[in-house]
Structure 1
Amino acid sequence: MNKLFNIIVVVISSILMLSCNGQSKNETNGSSTVFTGAPGEIKLVVLDPGHFHASLLQKFSNPQVNDTVFVYAPEGVELDQYLASIEAYNNRMENPTDWVEIVYTGEDYLEKMLSDKNGNVVILAGNNKKKTEYIYEAINSGFNVLSDKPMAINRENYHLLTSAFDIAKANNVYLYDVMTERYEIINTLTRELVSNSELFGNLQTGTPEDPAVVMENLHHFYKEVSGVPLVRPAWFYDVEQQGESIADVANHLVDLVQWQCFPYVVINHNSDVVLTSANHWPTRMTLEQFSRSTGLNSFPDFLQKYVKDSNLEVFANGTINYQLKGVNVSVTALWNYESTDGGGDTYNGKIKGTNASIEIVQNNSVDYIKELFILKDKSIDEQTFDHNIAKAINELQNSYPYISAEKISEGKYQIVAPTEFRKGHEDFFGMVADKYFGFLVNRDMPEWEISNMISKYNTTTRALEMIKNQD
């Protein structure tokens, strides 16, 4: 039978919401902060799923997660897209899911969610202007929250977010954001190599003009997700609702700097981070391109202030230069409309050590497949470098048996991770969720995770504030 029937839409109906007792895996109402790892005990509440990341968190089933999911959202295209994705996951031939979606679409959807208290983990991925308030209200009501990034796109949001973290601690619930890039194998291997003091040495400090850590990511507005052209909501192009790039996707870069260069270290957002400069610039988009991306035939009123010479200007590009524990860092987040050479989204970076430097390359020289290279410092002789590479790879193969090292030239190796062993970006969402669910059961979210989330959003929102003060 078509699993479309597993999606139950309830429109402004409290009676139907309260009478839904046909819940799988012993589903019961009521929020709980006690988890044992039992099947079905994690009960998801999806709030206003305006971004496709909400459905990606449900792309695969997890025995610990109940099949019945409560959804609270306004009616509209975004909700329809989310439900269509869930239906597709339920009906696919290989490894189908079995979600039962109970949907409430009243105008009071937030208040209804808070009063119903169905479930114990709120999933957030949508309009970033609303997200921080959603986080605060859910945490204040005793829910655990797994949120897509960013959790704050301006200073006002940031201060509300820090309050949410304080309440989460008091309420014994966990707030966590979805940092998918940690689970990409090249990023994971980079962290391992940076931590290898014999091979990498110590992290250089660099200078503002020549930073020790440089990272850049490039995204595209128009692309395919799960093989289907992505339709963006119009608000995605409003930086007051989506956020500028340095307050949005730059969070991945700031997170990687902290996670790779200072693993397991608690970062103090007041004393450990010093902003040196920041800037931003727009991506320009024609009405034809906007229509292709959103399905709308005109720029809505709230975007008119960004229209110049008939083109929409989206401040979707920016750079943050800062010092983290004395190390000079530069991160740049870019958005193009569409990939013109088939390269897709990309990430490039460099981390300099006293013995060697690590380069991550994803451009046409490597056919846009992210690759990892390590280059020796001139102070290290070739024989020592070769020995340290061999030793490091031998140790890493205990955890990643498929990797190897290939000498490209004198003083340069490629760390080879065959593509057939790599997970795809959409798989990372489930991996993040599994990590978070483990925290819920074991009650062991490290202090550095919490402090570094706060530091990350402090860095990005302060950089945006610096830019606004300059403009």
Structure 2
Amino acid sequence: MSNEPLMEPIMSKYKMRKNIVTRMAASIIAAFLFQFCNSPKEGQMTEDQSKAAIQIVSLDPGHFHAGLIHKSMYPEVDSTIHVYAPEGEELRDYLKRIAGYNERAEDPTAWNIEIYTGDDFLQEMIRQKAGNVMVVAGKNDRKIDYILAALENDINVYADKPLVINPEGFQKLKKAFAIAEQKDLLFYDIMTERFEISTILQRELSMIPEVFGTIEKGTLENPAITKESVHHFFKYVSGAPLIRPEWFFDTEIEGSGLVDVTTHLVDLVQWEVFPEKALDTADVEMLEAELLPTSLNYEQYELVTRKKPPFENGETLDVMANGEMNYTLKGVHAKVSVKWAYQAPEGTADTHYSIMRGSKANLIIRQGANESYKPVLYVKLLEDQAEALEKAVLTDLQGKYPGIGLTKLETGEYKIEVPSSYSVGHEAHFAQVTENYLKYFKAGELPDWEVPNMIVKYYTTTQAFAAAQ
């Protein structure tokens, strides 16, 4: 199989000279690329969206999440994406991904792309100011600097996690939020896991005292809330094998196992235990944190990156991708852990486990073989409140989530039955969180608790990283 990217002939034929490219030249190449991979099919949206409220600029899209945002279209968003990036495989992968969405048979998108490449891509984005919202998903070590540059130049920010990967970055993050507040700009990170239905229902039931009671305080050995996830370096995205950039395995750039995927889990701890309540960094006490490696052999590295490994055959690359932290949040003990394997066994996938321990019930999410590797919520009652649980699920929550049900198992636990229409999958969550951002953009503000809780979230992850050192 050839490793030559689809866009290679186009990009090489129309390669722009770095630092001296004119806007006209960029437009000519963008028009050619659009003709090649973004031609609308019959029935696609073709009306002029130049007056849309939001114009997106995509900066240095080095992670596949940058493309997933555009798997759907939004009425409020201009159909032209202005891309500023260095030339290379990451840009080509991003273009191919969006071209695939434009050319798919079912519900195709109609994105137009205008591209600027060159070493001064950040400066050119600021100079042109072609959009009012910057999307950034890529190298995590420099992401906060991109964010600061955008905010300092009056551009709103919609950023993939993690925003920062170390305590030094956290100090810059606080400055970024201060600038956003001063300039009345919307700065938000992409928390897709809030839209997973099993997590939503876990949160809903935890807020019903008749079922859950109150959250336990827990202990270091038996936390009140636990969030664990298992991920894989080799996977399929939008039906194609995911090619990871080489820097993904450099924790100085990508971040370690305590500051990357853990961002989602720490966010869920806050979102579920203290729903819609503003938190403070003083509420966090880091107790323990640990980093452990996942080892890749020569063949595995070569397959997932399509590059020659930077080590000899017979050796391995140890990636500090696994992290576990134990901490308290306002006195409630929480445990968060992330594990990475190379590839999931046949028929399996990334998995999530969670438990919230209440005074009347435990709310447990499992995603193993018994659940066909789909997240399922179970309720273990600690008192005789079956009637209250039935009312909560079959009556109280039916208005928000029609069709959910309840089954009592032989184990004594209750399984929350959820129609398949709610299980849209990880990729679809990007459209859901983007629609949420658009709602906040139109309103001109975030909920009062979002910014302080984003600060607390990244304080927690970076404190765990510092503790593990």
Shift of 1:211: 0.6
Runs of 4+ residues over 2 Å off in structure 1 = 7-15, 17-27, 418-421
Q: Which residues of 2 match residues 353-432 of structure 1 at below 5 A? A: 353-377=358-382, 380-381=383-384, 385-393=385-393, 394-409=395-410, 411-432=412-433
Shift of 1:24: 6.7
Q: Which amino acid aligns with 2:117?
A: T
Partner of 2:196: 184
Shift of 1:308: 11
Q: Which amino acid aligns with 1:350?
A: I
Distance 2:47 2:15 in 1: 18
Partner of 2:438: 437
Distance 2:127 2:389 in 1: 58
Change (3 A) 1:362 1:18: closer
Structure 2 length normalisation: TM-score?
0.90
Shift of 1:25: 3.3
Partner of 1:351: 356
Q: 1:66 pairs with 78, 89, 92, which one? A: 78
Partner of 1:25: 48
Compute the RMSD of aligned alpha carbons: 2.0
Q: Which residues of 2 match residues 133-148 of structure 1 at below 5 A? A: 133-148=145-160
Shift of 1:297: 1.6
Partner of 2:284: 273
1:362-409 Cα offsets, whole Å, 9 max, x none, are: 0112221110000011xx22xxx2101111011111111110000113
Partner of 1:35: none
1:60-98 Cα offsets, whole Å, 9 max, x none, are: 111110011100000000000000011111111111111
Q: Which residues of 2 match residues 245-324 of structure 1 at below 5 A? A: 245-269=257-281, 271-299=282-310, 310-324=315-329
> Residue 44 in 1 paired to residue 56 in 2?
yes
Partner of 2:225: 213
Distance 1:418 1:18 in 2: 47
Structure 1 length normalisation: TM-score?
0.90
Q: Which residues of 2 match residues 78-97 of structure 1 at below 5 A? A: 78-97=90-109
Partner of 1:32: none
1:312-369 Cα offsets, whole Å, 9 max, x none, are: 0000101010000100000001110000242110000110000101000001122211
Shift of 1:17: 6.5
* Contact 2:215 2:358 survives alignment (8 Å): yes
Partner of 2:130: 118
Distance 1:334 1:245 in 2: 8
Unpaired segments of 5 or more residues in structure 1?
28-38
Shift of 1:171: 0.9
1:149-206 Cα offsets, whole Å, 9 max, x none, are: 0000011111111100000001110110000000111111111011111100000001
- Kindly tell me the number of residue pairs found equivalent between the two proteins: 440
SS at match of 1:243: coil
Distance 1:296 1:250 in 2: 28
* Contact 1:10 1:102 survives alignment (8 Å): no
Change (3 A) 1:415 1:19: closer
Partner of 2:38: none
* Contact 1:24 1:68 survives alignment (8 Å): no
Change (3 A) 1:373 1:17: farther
1:286-316 Cα offsets, whole Å, 9 max, x none, are: 01100000001221xxxx6xx9971000001
Give identity over the alignment, percent. 40
> Residue 132 in 1 paired to residue 144 in 2?
yes
